[in-house]
């Protein structure tokens, strides 16, 4: 096993700032959980990288959670395994340490370590790797982002690797699926705002989405104006509120297996 003390945890900083209160608005969605657990197949042991507060971790298998942020790890339920503080780019685990590895809504935070981190997932998993993420082209088409938050769409295009790029890094046989974001999801990710633009007005909800956190970190006067415009639309005072059921969000779901060969389309 590598020396955990030497593993870089610099990526923890962002979630040290924005992670407080995460588990209040970002609760596990049973439909995403079912998809993830199904994709893990018969794996008995799973490394969960970017494990956060523990959403989507299967309870009926041995889980090794990896999480760099103390703020996030502190929100883990006492019934879950404590998280090892480490970053995706250098997992403190031997090759093939677990049957499977999973990474849920986290790869876009891995900065320069994205490719290294995905190859680390492949290295530590004996068989399946499961990734739940956004395809930035598709997520940028969601009405709220396309019409009101083009800065977020632009940021997402820079930080989310496309499914095709992930496929190249993972190798092996790949399956890609589309996972719809239901309007009643308890996981209030930015994609869920497609059906709830009022969440733009809820600081707690905004704060727990990295899209808003990243945008407001780099906000210019143009983006402040746009935020005001978005808030007006969310309050329903604008003529442009046409959100009911328009352009729902979808997540891309990529799994790679050392054993199976199956490729599905993504739309
Ligand atoms: C949006 S949260 C997702 C947490 C959890 N997977 C879930 O679905 O609720 C993103 C997580 O990725 C973690 N993270 C950020 N940079 C990371 C890195 N370089 N390596 C591993 N995890 C990282 C953050 O600390 C945070 O807990």
The tens digit of pLDDT for each residue in 32-74 reads: 999 999 999 999 999 999 999 999 999 999 999 999 999 999 9
Is residue 22 helix, strand or coil?
helix
Residue nearest to atom 9 of ligand 1 (CA): 55
For residues 184-194, average pLDDT: 94
Per-residue pLDDT tens for 58-115?
Answer: 999 999 999 999 999 999 999 999 999 999 999 999 999 999 999 999 999 999 999 9
Q: Rounded to the nearest whole angstrom, what is the distance from the C-alpha of residue 22 to the centroid of ligand 1?
A: 11
Element (H, E) at 230: helix 221-235
d(CA 137, CA 25): 25
- For residues 95 and 104, what is the distance between their CA atoms, to the nearest angstrom? 21
Give yes or no for residue 26 CB within 6 A of ligand 1.
yes
Q: Is the pLDDT of residue 259 over 60?
A: no
Give nearest CA residue, ligand 1 atom 23: 50
Residue 232: its pLDDT value, please? Answer: 64
Q: 189 in ligand 1 pocket by Cβ < 6 Å?
A: no
User: Is the model's pLDDT at 182 over the cut of 70?
Assistant: yes
Distance from residue 239's CA to the centre of ligand 1 (Å): 37
Q: Which of 107, 109, 131 to mutate to test the pocket of ligand 1 (most atoms within 8 A of CB)?
A: 109
Class of domain 4-257: alpha beta
Report d(CA 235, CA 202) in Å as an integer: 11
The predicted model gives 164-190 an average pLDDT of 91
Tokens of 190: 């930015």
The rounded mean pLDDT for the chain is 82
101-110, 176-185, 255-264: which is most confident: 101-110
**Ligand 1 atom at minimum distance from 88 CA:** 20
pLDDT in tens, 129-146: 999 999 999 999 999 999
Given pLDDT bands bounded at 50, 70 and 90, which one contains residue 257?
low
Please say if the pLDDT value at position 226 is more than 80. Answer: no
Nearest residue (CA) to ligand 1, atom 4: 52
Give the Cβ contact number of residue 112 at 10 Å. Answer: 9
pLDDT exceeds cutoff 60 at 219:
no
Cβ 110 under 6 angstroms from ligand 1: yes
Ligand 1 site, residue 105, Cβ cutoff 6 A: yes
Ligand 1 contacts CB of residue 72 (under 6 A) = yes
Q: Of 36 and 211, which is predicted with more confidence?
A: 36
First to last CA, the chain: 41
221-235 vs 150-159: helix crossing angle, rounded to 10: 110
Report the Cα 250 to chain-centroid distance in Å: 12
Query: pLDDT at residue 231 above 80?
Result: no
């Amino acid at each position: 096993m590598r020396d955990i003390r030497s593993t870089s945890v610099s990526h923890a900083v962002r979630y040290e700032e924005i992670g407080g209160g995460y588990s209040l608005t970002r609760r596990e969605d049973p439909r995403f959980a079912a998809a993830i657990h199904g994709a893990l197949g018969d794996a008995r042991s799973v490394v969960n990288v970017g494990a956060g507060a523990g959403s989507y971790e299967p309870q009926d298998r041995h889980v090794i959670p990896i999480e760099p942020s103390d703020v996030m790890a502190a929100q883990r339920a006492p019934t879950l395994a404590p998280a090892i503080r480490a970053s995706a780019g250098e997992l403190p685990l031997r090759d093939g340490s677990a049957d499977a590895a999973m990474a849920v809504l986290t790869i876009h935070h891995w900065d320069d370590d994205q490719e290294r981190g995905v190859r680390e997932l492949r290295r530590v998993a004996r068989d399946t790797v499961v990734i739940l993420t956004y395809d930035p082209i598709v997520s940028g088409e969601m009405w709220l982002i396309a019409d009101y938050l083009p800065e977020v769409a632009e940021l997402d295009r820079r930080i989310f690797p496309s499914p095709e790029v992930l496929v190249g890094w993972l190798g092996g046989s790949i399956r890609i699926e589309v996972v719809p974001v239901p309007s009643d999801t308890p996981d209030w990710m930015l994609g869920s705002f497609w059906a709830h633009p009022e969440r733009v007005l809820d600081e707690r909800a905004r704060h727990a989405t990295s899209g808003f956190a990243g945008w407001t970190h780099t906000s210019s006067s143009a983006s402040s104006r746009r935020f005001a415009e978005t808030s007006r639309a969310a309050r329903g005072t604008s003529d442009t509120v046409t959100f009911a059921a328009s352009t729902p969000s979808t997540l891309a779901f990529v799994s790679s297996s050392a054993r199976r060969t199956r490729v599905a389309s993504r739309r």
